[in-house]
């Protein structure tokens, strides 16, 4: 404090820009992980140093952020690669990238708070406030994203900080001021667009997505960010509400709810047409060249993300059946092969590998449970489960739809029940046109639930579905012809396919 009163420079390696530039020149340019780790340490130390003059602290934070941009982008591209990474590499990248964005967000927040508190030097950075706040929100979004890909708890301070940033930008009338965030990112943005991007992406149910689809939905929303808007009054197109007076995560809008002056509403009206146009191109197995996704992805995967967003925009997610608050012990096996072993197909079955989950509530279409910290690291969105509730003779099948970790690292799991009863069946192709299908392949036959029409739903090994290949099978002494109708869902290790089923006479083939 004394050095600040006397006007002396603090004793810090980045106390002047010349030494700061020299330190950045020494970074290992061909080792992005090491460079980003060093930049993270520098960013943390600069944010924690209260001896810096405000304008100098902001200048150094900006310089560190710009130096890290290329490294962070390269590592993010590696982390969100379409091919699954080895667990060690995935965890290492997650720690490095998450640590960088968390410290960048904190450093910009420190500068913003010092400015709002009226510290000396604030006048010199007043003109840069749109850039400062926009970068703060961009770092906040990335930090939140890396929490979400591990389904970790979200710090409630994020929403409080977002409310303060929006309030300040609105009062000082720079919400819509155009900003160029980085030299390598020429497209302009604004504080309002950055905040709408965060709220629009997070509000679309990220806890129900795999990490890769989380990334793709965030990138697609950013691509069409000019179609997202925030306004003080709701209309028929308003999707999410955000309370500036009591900030919390974005909530789906109830148009009949009472509106108060501190509410702001996110509209994504124009994005529907953009997504519909994009899907037409993706259905031709083409990913548009101008779609910036931060990596190279197959059209099918991008289509999954775009279809999810479109569905979320046009229809309100609703629970199909009432959940009963009842605790019930349920046997669980993980994956297609282990579930198949639970059926009556005569495969070797190791009963010692059966887990037991205590369900918190259950309905005809799904269940919810909380799992302990250890022993469930492999649980993922899209994970197929064989399930047998206590007192039930037969096995059913479910798929994990939602994950979230709480502050104690307990894993909250929501699963959709696909069928309460399954059978194992052997498939063989009928006639020609089935190139690529393996004769005698085992599959799961999903029996219809109570009150549900027979749908001929079958779980096949992943990538085994051939659209023009009719199949034959036998079950309970009867023969069936299975005519492919649609690929309904793709899971981690199997595909759910709907067939039109025709029972055959003994002499029919």
Yes or no: say if 331 and 302 are a contact pair by the CB < 8 Å rule. Answer: no
Residue 122 included in any domain: yes
CA distance 309 to 388: 33
* 191 and 335 part of one domain: no
- The predicted structure's pLDDT at residue 282: 95
Alpha carbons 108 and 139: distance in angstroms, whole number? 9
Domain end position, chosen among 199, 225, 243: 199
In a domain, 254, yes or no: no
In a domain, 302, yes or no: no
Q: Are 458 and 441 in contact (CB under 8 A)?
A: no
**pLDDT score recorded for residue 1:** 40
| 193 and 331 fall within a common domain | no
Q: Are residues 195 and 337 in the same domain?
A: no
Quote the number of domains for the chain: 2
* Per-position pLDDT tens, the chain of length 509: 434 444 456 678 888 888 888 999 999 989 999 999 999 999 999 999 988 999 999 999 999 999 999 999 999 999 999 998 998 999 999 999 999 999 999 999 999 999 999 998 889 999 999 999 999 999 999 999 999 998 888 888 899 999 999 999 999 999 999 999 998 887 899 999 999 999 999 998 888 899 999 999 999 999 999 999 999 988 888 888 898 988 888 888 876 666 788 899 999 888 999 999 999 999 999 999 999 999 999 999 999 999 999 998 887 655 555 566 777 889 998 888 888 888 865 454 555 678 889 888 888 788 999 988 777 777 888 889 999 988 888 899 999 988 888 878 888 999 999 988 898 888 888 765 555 556 678 888 888 876 666 667 888 887 778 888 888 888 878 888 888 888 888 887 888 888 888 887 765 55
H/E stretch holding 387: strand 384-389
Q: Which residue in 466, 457, 462 sits closest to 497, CA to CA? A: 457
> Does a structural domain hold residue 151?
yes
Q: Are residues 179 and 327 in the same domain?
A: no
Q: What is the pLDDT of residue 323?
A: 61
Domain final residue, candidates 152, 170, 199 = 199
**Domain membership flag for residue 265:** no
The predicted pLDDT at position 73 comes to: 95
Q: Specify which residues 331 forms β-bridges with.
A: 356, 388
- Asked if residue 257 is part of any domain, the answer here is no
d(CA 115, CA 112): 5
Sorted by sequence, the CB contacts under 8 Å of residue 470 that are 6+ apart come out as 429, 430, 431, 433, 434, 481, 482, 483, 484
Q: What is the model's pLDDT at position 489? A: 82
Is residue 299 situated within a structural domain? Answer: no
Phi then psi for 238, rounded to 5 degrees? -65, 135
Q: Is 194 found in the same domain as 330?
A: no
410 lies in some domain: yes
Structural domain ending residue among the three candidates 166, 199, 232: 199
pLDDT of residue 508: 54
CB 267, CB 238: distance < 8 Å:
yes
Q: Would the CA dihedral through 25, 30, 36, 37 be positive or negative?
A: negative
Overall residue count recorded for the chain in this entry: 509
* Neighbour-count burial of 378, counting CB atoms closer than 10 A to its CB (0-12 exposed, 13-18 middle, 19+ buried): exposed
What is the structure's pLDDT at 431?
A: 67
* 3 state SS of 404: strand
Domain that holds residue 137: 1-199
């Amino acid at each position: 404090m004394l050095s600040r009163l006397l006007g002396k420079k603090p004793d810090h390696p980045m106390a002047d820009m010349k030494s700061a530039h020299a330190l950045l020149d020494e970074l290992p340019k061909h080792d992005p992980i090491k460079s980003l780790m060093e930049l993270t340490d520098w960013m943390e130390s600069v944010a924690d140093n209260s001896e810096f003059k405000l304008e100098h602290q902001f200048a150094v934070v900006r310089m560190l952020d710009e130096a890290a941009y290329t490294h962070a982008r390269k590592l993010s591209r590696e982390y969100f690669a379409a091919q699954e990474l080895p667990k060690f590499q995935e965890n290492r990248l997650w720690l490095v990238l998450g640590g960088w964005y968390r410290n960048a967000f904190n450093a910009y927040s420190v500068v913003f708070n010092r400015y709002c508190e009226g510290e000396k030097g604030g006048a010199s950075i007043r003109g840069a406030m749109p850039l400062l706040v926009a970068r703060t929100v961009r770092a906040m979004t990335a930090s939140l994203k890396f929490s979400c890909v591990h389904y970790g708890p979200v710090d409630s301070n994020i929403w409080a900080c977002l409310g303060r940033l929006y309030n300040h930008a609105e009062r000082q009338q720079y919400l819509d001021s155009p900003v160029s965030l980085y030299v390598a990112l020429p497209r302009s943005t604004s504080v309002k667009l950055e905040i709408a991007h965060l709220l629009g992406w997070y509000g679309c149910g990220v806890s129900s997505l795999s990490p890769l689809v989380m990334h793709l939905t965030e990138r697609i929303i950013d691509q069409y960010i000019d179609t997202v808007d925030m306004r003080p009054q709701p209309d028929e197109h308003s999707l999410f509400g955000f309370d500036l007076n009591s900030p919390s995560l974005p909530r789906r809008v109830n148009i009949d709810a009472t509106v108060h002056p501190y509410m702001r509403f996110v509209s994504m009206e124009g994005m529907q047409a953009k997504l519909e146009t994009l899907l037409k191109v993706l259905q031709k197995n083409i990913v548009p060249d101008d779609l910036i996704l931060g990596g190279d992805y197959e059209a099918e995967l991008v289509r999954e993300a775009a279809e999810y967003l479109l569905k979320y925009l046009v229809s309100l997610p609703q629970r199909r059946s009432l959940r009963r608050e009842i605790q019930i012990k349920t046997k669980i096996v993980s994956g297609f092969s282990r579930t198949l072993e639970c059926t009556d197909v005569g495969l070797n079955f190791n009963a010692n590998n059966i887990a037991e989950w205590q369900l918190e509530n259950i309905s005809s279409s799904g269940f919810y449970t909380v799992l302990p910290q250890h022993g469930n690291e492999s649980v993922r969105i899209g994970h197929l489960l064989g399930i047998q509730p206590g007192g039930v003779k037969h096995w059913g099948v479910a798929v994990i739809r939602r994950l979230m970790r709480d502050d104690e690292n307990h894993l909250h799991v929501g699963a959709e029940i696909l069928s309460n009863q399954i059978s194992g069946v052997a498939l063989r192709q009928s006639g020609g046109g089935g190139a690529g299908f393996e004769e005698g392949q085992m599959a799961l036959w999903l029996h219809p639930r109570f009150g549900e029409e027979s749908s001929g739903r079958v779980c096949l090994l992943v990538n085994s579905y051939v659209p023009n290949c009719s199949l034959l099978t036998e079950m309970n002494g009867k023969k069936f012809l299975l005519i492919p109708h649609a690929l309904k869902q793709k899971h981690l290790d199997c595909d759910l396919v709907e067939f039109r089923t025709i029972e055959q006479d003994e002499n029919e083939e």
